[in-house]
Amino acid sequence: MKKKMEKALNNQVNAELYSSYLYLAMESYFQSVSLSGFAKWMRGQVQEEMFHGMKIYDYVNERGGKMQFDAIAKPQQKWDSPLEAFEHILAHEKNVTQMINDLIDVALDVRDHAAKAFLDWFIIEQVEEEATVGEIVDRLRLIGKDSSGLFLLDSELGKRVFTLPQK
Ligand code: FEO
């Protein structure tokens, strides 16, 4: 694997682990305001982002690349409302989508078609992530200050069961 590709994939492992860390901070925030369904949903995100990071890590190793481990940035730890937290997630996921697009640009630039094929999985994944989070943002906006609506959504999100995607 070309060094430029290896470095870009290394950066993405760090970004995915940061996402996992950010969602862990959000899980903790939701626990602190007694919204246990939101917290459970967030645990699914923590696991999913860890899975993304490990998927790229495994790929770098499979291609004979080398991992370099940088510090993981400190995440934000407080939000004023569930809506603010979910708006943060939506902006964050849009940023991740851009990062994946940039990674594909690197793969095409160095003519690494195997990496491009590998990264296509993440493009589909990001479409799903943005759609899921966007829907929750919309629902939180509709709910506004209606606490019964919020508790209903909390109970719905609490039903999330994380299952590892097929590799
Ligand atoms: Fe790993 Fe939420 O993107």
Give the model confidence (pLDDT) of 16-37 as tens digits: 999 999 999 999 999 999 999 9
pLDDT (tens digit per residue) in 48-91: 999 999 999 999 999 999 999 999 999 999 999 999 999 999 99
68 to 8, 47, 59, 141: CA distances (angstroms)? 11, 22, 14, 41
Average pLDDT, the chain: 96
Please list, residue by residue across 8-36, b when 16 or more beta carbons sit within 10 angstroms of its beta carbon and e when fewer do.
bbbbbbbbbbbbbbbbbbbbebbeeeebe
Give the list of residues 6+ apart from residue 52 with CB closer than 8 angstroms, or none.
16, 19, 122, 125
> What residue ranges define each of the domains in the chain, with the CATH number in brackets?
3-157 (1.20.1260.10)
Q: How far is the CA of 148 from the centre of ligand 1 (A)?
A: 30
In this predicted structure, the answer to whether residue 160 has a pLDDT above a threshold of 80 is: yes
Q: Give me the pLDDT at residue 67, please.
A: 97
Q: Provide residues with CB under 6 Å of ligand 1.
A: 16, 19, 49, 52, 93, 96, 129
Provide the token pair at 52.
């993304």
Q: How far is the CA of 16 from the centre of ligand 1 (A)?
A: 6
Q: Which residue's CA is the closest to the ligand 1 atom numbered 1?
A: 49
